[in-house]
């Protein structure tokens, strides 16, 4: 299998995984997704405008807060759909464990301290960095720079808080429906046992 084929396969796997992550946020479980940062990573959702469709898109990504600013990386580089969308429309919304924020995105890949910040984001990516063949704990700066040459590093400046951390997702009502169904199932008439 060629390198391009394996990259495309990994991209598809992450897109599928991202749908599950987004569903968890919408069900009100977003704060709990980062319970094991070293293993699973720290997660947030970026709500952004599609550059071709103009429709709202949602992308779960790993992140790190460095010097009070939120940072993330486009691991598949500038070909990532969400990265291209953000470059076209840098005003975004962040869904973080501490609430939702309006924010402004900027690519800081060429900044002097980009590699140090990228390493921190990769540490906070848990298994995702290792799945990409990167060990952010042991790689030298030179190895990391070569291995992440196509990555893009983004700084997401929070502008205005949109909600508190206690605002649930838009699908949180599902839990109430499931509870009612469970109660009805438990209270259903059962045939007599002879």
Angle at the Cα of 28 from the Cα atoms of 47 and 83, rounded to 5 degrees: 20
pLDDT reported for residue 166: 61
pLDDT by 10-residue block (mean), the chain, 194 residues: 70 77 81 77 92 91 95 90 95 91 96 96 92 93 95 96 72 77 84 76
Count of residues in the chain: 194
Distance in angstroms (rounded) separating the CA atoms of residues 42 and 33: 7
pLDDT reported for residue 88: 95
Q: Answer yes or no: is 123 within a domain.
A: yes
pLDDT reported for residue 1: 67
Q: Answer yes or no: is 128 within a domain.
A: yes
Q: Answer yes or no: is 149 within a domain.
A: yes
Q: Answer yes or no: is 17 within a domain.
A: yes
Distance in angstroms (rounded) separating the CA atoms of residues 117 and 112: 10
Q: Answer yes or no: is 194 within a domain.
A: no
pLDDT reported for residue 7: 67
pLDDT reported for residue 168: 62
Which residues, listed in sequence order, are joined to residue 73 by a DSSP beta bridge? 153
**CA nearest neighbour of 86 among 74, 95, 75:** 74
pLDDT reported for residue 16: 80
pLDDT reported for residue 110: 95
Q: Answer yes or no: is 122 within a domain.
A: yes
Number of domains in the chain: 1
pLDDT reported for residue 40: 81
pLDDT reported for residue 125: 93
Q: And the tokens for 43? A: 């997660």
Q: Answer yes or no: is 193 within a domain.
A: no
Q: Which residue has the tokens 């205005």?
A: 160
CATH number at residue 74: 2.30.110.10
């Amino acid at each position: 299998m060629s390198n391009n084929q394996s990259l495309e396969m990994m991209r598809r796997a992450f897109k599928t995984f991202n749908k599950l992550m987004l569903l968890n946020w919408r069900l009100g479980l977003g704060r709990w997704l980062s319970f094991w940062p070293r293993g699973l990573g720290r997660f947030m959702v970026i709500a952004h405008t599609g550059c071709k469709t103009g429709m709202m898109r949602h992308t779960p990504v790993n992140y790190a807060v460095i010097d009070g600013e939120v940072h993330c990386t486009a691991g598949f580089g500038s070909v990532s759909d969400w990265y291209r969308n953000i470059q076209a429309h840098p005003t975004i919304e962040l869904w973080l464990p501490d609430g939702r924020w309006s924010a402004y995105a900027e690519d800081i890949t060429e900044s002097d301290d980009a590699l140090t910040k990228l390493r921190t984001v990769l540490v906070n990516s848990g298994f995702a960095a290792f799945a990409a063949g990167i060990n952010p704990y042991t790689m030298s700066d030179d190895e990391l720079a070569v291995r992440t040459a196509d990555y893009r590093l983004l700084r997401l400046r929070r502008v205005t808080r949109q909600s508190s951390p206690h605002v649930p997702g838009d699908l949180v009502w599902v839990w109430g429906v499931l509870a009612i169904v469970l109660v009805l199932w438990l209270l259903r008439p059962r045939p007599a046992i002879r």
